[in-house]
């Protein structure tokens, strides 16, 4: 077993455990902290795959900026507990069946790939070097990049409108 495979497996275990802990946590702030651990583990996996720009973007954007936004929303809305009643009785059995299906697919994928290498080649030069990645992003993929930026701007404006929806300023 190679060193890179051992590092990958350790990071994968951290990512899976933190994701499960995030889902099972009763405290929303702890759930957000578990999500940060998950983002960092995923970023480290990107590093092992030879994509440092994607890894640092993952950690900076998600574990940094997005999680600050999540924590702001959690603190603004309050972290009170919801009622313990189950509104839709069919959701839990369906979730269990779907989870078992995903676990079965993962087991099948792992068992059919025993003995094969996980990574046959490192990331291409286009993805590994930030300069060439920026060049490709702003030349070949300029339109999708701009559409994404407009969508993010609309989402930010929508969040502001939704939070200020019920508050109307009185004229004086």
* 128, 52 contact by CB (below 8 A): yes
Q: What percent of the chain has pLDDT over 70?
A: 81
Q: How many helices (H) and strands (E) does the chain have?
A: 8, 0
The pLDDT assigned to 16 comes to 93
Contact 15, 42 (CB under 8 A): yes
Write out pLDDT tens, residues 132-155.
Answer: 777 877 888 888 888 888 888 888
Res 89: pLDDT: 79
3-class secondary structure, 164: coil
Provide the whole-model pTM. Answer: 0.57
């Amino acid at each position: 077993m190679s060193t890179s495979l051992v590092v990958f497996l350790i990071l994968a275990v951290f990512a899976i455990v933190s994701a499960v802990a995030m889902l099972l946590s009763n405290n929303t702030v702890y759930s957000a902290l578990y999500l940060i651990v998950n983002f960092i583990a995923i970023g480290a996996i990107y590093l092992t795959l030879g994509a440092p720009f994607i890894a640092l973007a993952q950690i900076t954007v998600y574990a940094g900026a997005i999680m600050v936004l999540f924590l702001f929303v959690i603190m603004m809305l309050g972290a009170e507990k919801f009622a313990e009643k189950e509104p839709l009785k069919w959701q839990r059995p369906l979730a269990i069946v779907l989870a078992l299906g995903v676990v079965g697919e993962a087991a099948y994928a792992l068992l059919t790939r025993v003995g094969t290498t996980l990574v046959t080649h490192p990331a291409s030069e286009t993805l590994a070097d930030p300069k060439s990645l920026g060049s490709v992003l702003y030349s070949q993929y300029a339109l999708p990049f701009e559409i994404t930026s407009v969508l993010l701007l609309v989402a930010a404006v929508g969040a502001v409108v939704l939070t200020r929806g019920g508050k109307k300023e009185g004229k004086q």
